């Protein structure tokens, strides 16, 4: 797994995504949601999903 760059944009995304996962009941804790978001960014899943959304919605 690649290491994410330390920057405020990546941190902001992960914190917000983690909160959304937790609030929606998809994950057991806020911390686990944030970690899952970090993993999704590191392994490219977050970017892949973004590209899928852009293809459906248009850019």
pLDDT of amino acid 4: 56
Q: List the chain domain ranges.
A: 8-57
pTM: 0.75
**Residues 6+ away with beta carbon under 8 Å from 49:** 40
Report the C-alpha gap between 17 and 35 in whole angstroms.
10
**Residues 6+ away with beta carbon under 8 Å from 55:** none
Kindly list the averaged pLDDT for each block of 10 residues, start to end, along the chain of length 59. Answer: 67 93 96 93 92 88
């Amino acid at each position: 797994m690649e290491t994410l760059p330390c920057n405020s944009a990546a941190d902001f995304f992960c914190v917000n995504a983690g909160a959304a996962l937790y609030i929606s009941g998809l994950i057991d804790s806020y911390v686990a949601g944030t970690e899952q978001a970090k993993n999704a960014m590191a392994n490219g899943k977050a970017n892949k999903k973004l590209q899928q959304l852009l293809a459906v919605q248009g850019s």
